[in-house]
Every structure is written in C-alpha cells, then in structure tokens.
Structure 1
Amino acid sequence: MTTPGTIGVAEPQASATPAPPLAARTRGLRKVYRKTVAVDRVDLDVPQGAVLGMLGPNGSGKTTTIRMLLGLVRPTTGTVELLGHPLPDGAARALPQVGALVEGPGFHPFLSGRDNLRRCAAAEPLLATGSISTAVDDALERVGLADAANRTYRGYSLGMKQRLGLAAALLVPRRLVVLDEPTNGLDPAGTREVRQVIADLHRGGTTVLVSSHLLAEVEATCTHVAVLHRGTVVAQGELADLLEASTPALLVSTPDVDRAVEALRAGGISTRPWEGGVRVELTGTAAPAVLEVLVRAGVAVHEARRQRTGLEELFTQLTEADPGESETFAGARDSLDVEEALR
C-alpha cells in the first residue's frame, strides 16, 4: 500500500514481470539516538546497475541511512542487505566489493596524496601487492590529481581532498560505489569530472548510490531517485517515472487555440491557452480522451506531450511541509543557482 502523500510504490505488488535484482535493500530501518529518531522505518531499494540519487533536506537521515547500509552504524531495528548478503554477518563478503566516500575523506595530513592512497591500497583485500602502484596511478589520473599527487595532503584544497577520497573508493573495480556529497567543494570543472566518473561507472555496470543536494547534478546523472523527509522515504523509483507521475497536465500544440479551449470546456475538461496551444489538466481525465475530443471537434493537433515537472519542483512538493526544512532547501537551491551560473 502506498503511504498517502507519497509518489511511487511503497510495497512491491504481484506482477508477471520479476522484480529487478537489488544491489542493496533495507526493510524497516530505524535508528534512534537517545530520544532523537534519525531514521524511521526506511524501506530502500537500490536496483542493480542503477545510479540512485538520495535526496533530502539537512537532517532528513540520508547520511545515517548510508552509514547503516555500509555497516558503519548498527540500526536500532530493521534489516540491511548489501550485494545479497545480510549485515552485519555478511559484511566480510560484501564490503570488499563496495567503494565509499562518506562524510568527507580522512587522510594523514603530512603524507602526499600518492602516499595516502598507497596506504589505502595496501589495505584492499582485492588488490595484489604488485598491482598497488598501477592502481594508485590510475585512480589519481581518473580523478584529475595526477599532477598534484606528490603534494602533501594538508596543502590540498577542499575540492582536492574530495577528489582523493573519490580516488580511494575507485582503487579496484567495485560492484557498488556509495558517494555522500561527492561534489562538495569542487569547482564547476571538478563537478563535471565527477559526473563523468559516475557515468563511466554506470556504463561499466557498477551500481552507484549518490547523496546530494545539487538537484541539477542528480537530474543529469541519476536513473533512480529516493527522497527522504523526516527520516523516512517519501518517494522512490525511476527518475523519469516519478517526474511523469507528478505532472497531471498535457500540453497540446495547435493553431486552433480558441476552438480547442471551447471543445474541451464543453466536455467538462479543464484547460487554458498555453504557449503555441493549450494546457489541459488531466485530473479526472486521460490524455487519449483529451485527444479524442479535439479530433472530433476538428481541431488540428500538431503535438501532445505531458508537461514535465523538474526535480526541484518535485522535491519541494515532497518536503515543503516543514517551514524550517523549506529554508534548508532554499539554501541548497541557492547553491544550485550559483553552480549553474558558473558553468
């Protein structure tokens, strides 16, 4: 049953089509710190091979959920399954296949970027000792740090530190990569490079889970979205489906605007003139019925398409209930506007 006010299906329904395999899933996930409920009954599905963007205002439980998903924090109640293995019992089998950058990287300040990465590589169970140098060089090149590899970490900018953390997550091929705010501190060029890395991982079949407040980045890179609000998932699914489902309007391109409006209103269908045609509200009707009315009235229909809601509008619809969180999102939106202006 779908919770009122949410978009998407909360529980899988019986279908002839088998459900896609999942790289990770949680059921009834809950985390309580003393009297504070950080995460409350989260049922999250991360489809295998997807790029899933996890969205939510500050304090919505994104990072806590990620930490429980990776076995870094024990849930108060609920279950976690990672790459087919239940946690915490299956952590030793699942975690070597997972690369993660959570809450910012942590490295030794007096070592160079290369030496820090070598220490990370030496601890990789899937990386042979003789392959460490090559793996480190490849990872540095992949995130654009090859020229700064021999500088000490304490001299790195915030963006360079973030890149090094990403390099550590990509030292060996992974089945799942989890990135918590991966573009934090990056300039527009660095952001585009991270976007390219995510696209490369996706093309190679790697599942990617990205937590971000930059909605344009999520819309540009992600195939799926999960929106968290007040510690629970209020919407999840394929991005295109969520945007489509939240848009009950049809845009019809026609030179016969007046005749179209008259015919539709006579049929009890809400409509108004729009740029190059009419905008039809689909509440209580369907697109085929709208087109049938127009064709029977002799209206020339050049094009008909669903009006597409942007991710920002969808996000706002799902999280606007709390005034304080609306202010938080306004700050995220301002960051988005600045980044777009710099591109």
Structure 2
Amino acid sequence: MVIGDPEAPAATAAGAPARLAARTRNLRKVYGRTVAVDHVDLDVPVGSVLGMLGPNGSGKTTTIRMLLGLVTPTAGAVELLGHQLPGGLGYALPEVGALVESPGFHPFLSGRENLMRCAAAEPHLATRDIARAVAAALERVGLAAAAGRRYRGYSLGMKQRLGLAAALLLPRKLVVLDEPTNGLDPAGTREVRAVIADLHASGTTVLVSSHLLTEVEATCTHVAVLHQGSVVAQGELTELLEAGDAGLLVATPDVTVAVNALRDNRVPARATPDGVHVDLTATTAPEVVATLVRADVAVHEVRRQRTGLEDLFARLTEAESTEARLSDVDHRELLAEESR
C-alpha cells in the first residue's frame, strides 16, 4: 500500500518547496513470483539531471512507471514534486513532462494533429496558446518539416522525437525521459543532449533512463544505478567517479626515477604510457608531490585519475555477460502487449 494523504499535497517546512523533485522509499513491485523492484530508495534532487542506469530487467522502467502513477506499487511510498502518490497525482502530473518507452499516437493523424490533441489535454495551456506551443515543440525537436505527415509513416526516430515534443509542450518542473535517444541517429542524439542541457540551464529537473553511458556521462549531474531491482549506488556523478579509483596521474619525463622514489617511501606507483600512476589509498596528493620534489623529479602535471562511468557501471552491476537478455518482467510485458 502506498503511504500518503489522498486529498492534499504533502506539506513542506514553512511552506518551502520540496528539496527533492521526486523520491521513493522502500518501493517494491512484484509480478506474480517475479520481484521487479525491491525496496528502492531513490532521490531526485531539484534542478539535477539524474541518469538512471541498469542492465535489461533491472527495474528502471518499472520504477519510472510507479513514479508517474502508471503502475501501482506493491509496497512503499512515492513522492512527486512534494505530493504523496497516488492522492497527489492531480497536483503533480500537470508539472511533469514524460516520454516513457515507445510513444503512442494515432497512426492516421499527422504529427501536428497528434500534438494538437496532446496540447488540448494540458490543463496549464490556454486554448489560444495551443497552436504556438505545438509549433515551438515541433521546431525544438526537429520535426517542423515533417509535421504534416501521418504518424504511421514516421520512422522510429521520428516517433521518438514526437514523443519528446509532447513532453516539452510547455515549461515543466520535471521532465522524465525513458531511453529518449532510442532509434535516433548521431545527429538526433546530439539534439537530445542539447535539449537536456537547455532544460537543466532553465532549472528544470530531468530524469533520464539510458543505456548509453557516454551520453549519461556527458549530460547528467547525478546517477542512480539499478541492478536486479535494487539501487546499488546513487549520488553526484563526479563524486561517484572519483570514489571509484583513489589514484593520481603524474606527468613527468623522469618516470623511472619517480616510480623508484615513491616506492622507496612505501607509496605504490607504476609507470603508464601517460606518466606515473600513484595509489592514494595510504597517502595524499600533497605528500606525493613533496616526495617527488625532494627526489628532484620534474613534475609537469598532477591530476586525479577518475574511473570511467563504463568501468564503474560494470563493477557495480557485476556484469557477467555483454549479451542482452530479457528478464521475466520483460517477457510478461511482451506477452501482455501481444494479447491486446
């Protein structure tokens, strides 16, 4: 059962806005004997761009659906823009734009006509502003030239763009994008990255589910990693990457002298193509530099060596194979689609 007042929005201290745009506590979803999401505590800070990562079947989309009120949790609490769900959905959803999985539109209507219908359902969009908002959204996602074509003739990438346009019809407090670059070519992917950057610059909170680690690393300020239905790590991206490898990279022409000097002082070090890698587990960066200076080593540059997001993701999820596999939940959802 979801905790919350079914009638009113959640109160905040002294009327101040909630610090988190969305959060879950002990969130759990079970399909029969399959646990899709298991006691997930997720925090989405206001103004952040949070990338939700995880292998197939890790619970990303199910968690997003529960955040948006599309799926009822088996247990746990969901708060969206300061409102407890499900009672606060009517307060929160008008402030949320979302693209979840494959967008669904009327196949015999044009892209513009479909978007006009979406705009007419927006409670915060006046009738006189609908045409302008639709035109601006189509232009923003690069569909202005194809707006008059029927949706059934759209490519997968064009369908994704139209779904994104529907999420951006008017300014939002929170935008949720589930695999927004699915089906897009490199140019389209860059455009989506620019849209996310623009939303972030305007103060909008963005939650992005993606399997493209390079895109997440380029666009996100925060990361949440899901594995087997649970959150295995979350926080600021830079902090997670820096915590992954307590190392220092020293650029010097005296590589051999530097390595020997550090090892003589019981500091683990090894030569690399870029210089000297120093393990900071039992020392600090200033002590490393002081040791090298005393040994008359020419130090040209010193920088913290971070773990890449791909390495961090692999370590956290304990990936055993690079082959994509459908989970029990995926199979269940596919069977449900086929029976419709």
Identify the TM-score tier after normalising by the shorter chain.
Answer: 0.7 to 0.9
In the alignment, what sits opposite 1:186? 184
User: How many percent identity over aligned positions?
Assistant: 75
2:150 pairs with 1:146: no
In the alignment, what sits opposite 1:270? 268
CA distance in 1, matches of 2:233, 2:271: 32
Answer with 53-62 or 281-290: which moved more. Answer: 281-290
Q: How much does 1:276 deviate?
A: 4.8
CA distance in 1, matches of 2:55, 2:294: 48
In the alignment, what sits opposite 1:177? 175
In the alignment, what sits opposite 1:46? 44
Q: 1:328 to 1:291 in 2, by over 3 A?
A: farther
What SS does the aligned partner of 1:269 have? coil
In the alignment, what sits opposite 1:328? 324
CA distance in 1, matches of 2:23, 2:263: 47
In the alignment, what sits opposite 1:11? none
- Over residues 87-115 of structure 1, what are the superposed CA-to-partner deviations in whole Å (9 max), with x where a residue is unaligned? 11111101100000001100000011111
Structure 2: segments with no counterpart, 5+ residues: 1-17, 326-340
Q: How much does 1:117 deviate?
A: 0.5
Aligned partner of 2:289: which letter? L
Is the Cα–Cα contact under 8 Å of residues 145 and 164 in structure 1 kept in the other structure?
A: yes
Q: How much does 1:220 deviate?
A: 1.1
In the alignment, what sits opposite 1:6? none
Structure 1: segments with no counterpart, 5+ residues: 1-19, 330-343
In the alignment, what sits opposite 1:5? none
In the alignment, what sits opposite 2:104? 106
In the alignment, what sits opposite 2:78? 80
Q: How much does 1:260 deviate?
A: 1.4
In the alignment, what sits opposite 1:226? 224
Q: How much does 1:289 deviate?
A: 2.5
Aligned partner of 2:57: which letter? G
Aligned partner of 1:314: which letter? L
2:132 pairs with 1:134: yes
Task: Provide the aligned length of Structure 1 versus Structure 2.
Answer: 308
Q: How does 1:147-296 map to 2 (within 5 A)?
A: 147-296=145-294
RMSD: 1.4
For normalisation by structure 1, the TM-score amounts to 0.87
Counterpart selection for 1:120 from 107, 118, 121: 118
CA distance in 2, matches of 1:258, 1:196: 45
CA distance in 2, matches of 1:275, 1:309: 17
CA distance in 2, matches of 1:261, 1:130: 71
For normalisation by structure 2, the TM-score amounts to 0.88
In the alignment, what sits opposite 2:68? 70
CA distance in 2, matches of 1:320, 1:74: 29
Is the Cα–Cα contact under 8 Å of residues 247 and 306 in structure 1 kept in the other structure?
A: no
Counterpart selection for 1:316 from 314, 317, 324: 314
In the alignment, what sits opposite 1:304? 302
